[in-house]
Amino acid sequence: MDVEARKDSPPARRKAHSLLVALNCGMLALGTTGGPLMSRLYYSKGGHRQWLSAWLQTGGWPLLLIPVVAAYLGRRSRDRGAPVLLTPPRILLAAAGLGVVTGADNFIYAYGLTYLPVSTSAILISTQLAFTVFFAFLIVRQRLSASSLNAVALLSVGAVVLGLHVSSDRPAGITRGKYWLGFALTLGAAALYGLVLPLVELAYKRAAGGGRAVTYALVMEVQLVMGLFATAFCTVGMVVNKDFEAIPREARHFELGEARYYTVLVWAAVLWQFFFLGAVGVIFCVHTLLAGILIAVFIPVTEVAAVIFLHERFSSEKGIALVLSLWGLASYSYGEWSEAKAKKKEAAAAAQTSGSAPLT
C-alpha cells in the first residue's frame, strides 16, 4: 500500500494514484479543519447534546453508498456474477468492531469539546500523531526513528504547557474542574484514534494476506461499515439520552435561528465524513503515519479559523504549544523525507551496480 510498491505501474496508473492521493488529502484537510469548527459552533451558539454531536461525526455515512454502488455496477457490467461486496466477511466484522470503537471515540471527543475552545482542542488532538507512531510500531511494525521520538516528545510537552495554564484558556462559564475533564477526554480521544488508524491499516493487510486485492472500492466498503456501526452506537446513546426529542426544542432556542441550526448539523455531518473518508483513503494510498501527519499539519489552519470565525482568544500559552507541535511535526517530516531520500539513493546505487555487473 506504500507509494514505493506502485513505482512499477504504468504512467497512467501512477497518475491516477497521484490524483487519488490528492483527493483524499483534500478531503482530510477539509474535514480536519471544518469538522471541529462546526462542532464547536454548535456548542457555542446554544447546543448541548454530546451524543448528537458525536452522531454527526459519522452520520454522513450514507454518502458512501454512492461510490460503493457505482463500483458494484461497474463490476456487474463487466461480470454478471460479480459479488455485491469485495470485502471478506472477517474484514467486515473487524470493520464493524472498529466502527463501535470509533463511535466511542467520537463521543469522548464531543464531550471534551463541550468544555474546551476548538483552538485548544486542536492542539491536544495533534498528540494523536504520537499515539499513532506508538501503536503503528506495535501493530503494523512501523519503524521508530529518532525523528519520530522527537516529535512525540515535543507534542507531549505542548500538551503539558496547555495544562499548566488552565486559567488563561477556560471559556466563559466553564469551571476549572470541567476544563480538566475536557482536557483529559480530548487526550483520551486522541489516544483512541491513534489506535484506530493502525488497526485500519492492519485490516487492509489482512485482506491482502487473504489473497484479496485491496482496491479503493474495498476501502469504501470498510469505511461504510465503520460509519454505519459508529452511527448505530451513537444512535443508541441518543435514544437513551432522549436527544431526538430535544432537537426541535434546541433548534428553537439556537442563537443563529432554527434554520441555521439544522444547517450547522448538516454541514457538520458532511465535513466530518470528509475527515474519516480522507483518513482511510490516505492510509490505503500511502500509510498510517501520513494520515497522522496530515491531521497534525492542519492545526494552524484550525487555530486561525477559530480565532477569526469563533472569536476565540489566542493566548501566549497556545502559541508556545502550537510552535512545539509544529516543531515536532517538522522534525518527523524531515526525518521521513531524509530516510526516503537515502533509500532512493541506495536503490539507485544497487541498480547501477547490478546493471554494470559482467555477464556470465
pLDDT of residue 165: 60
Mean pLDDT of successive 10-residue segments in the chain (360 residues)? 48 79 88 91 92 95 91 90 88 95 96 87 80 84 72 71 61 83 93 91 83 83 94 97 95 95 96 89 78 74 80 74 75 74 78 60
C-alpha 40/C-alpha 43 separation (Å) is: 5
pLDDT of residue 124: 83
pLDDT of residue 355: 61
> By C-alpha distance, which of 98, 67, 30 is closest to 273?
30
pLDDT of residue 163: 61
Residue in the block written with cell 487526550: 187
pLDDT of residue 133: 80
Amino acid at 100: V
**Are the beta carbons of 198 and 132 closer than 8 angstroms?**
yes
pLDDT of residue 110: 95
Torsion of CA 263, 229, 122, 303, to 10 degrees: -30
- Model's pTM, two decimal places? 0.81
C-alpha 269/C-alpha 39 separation (Å) is: 9
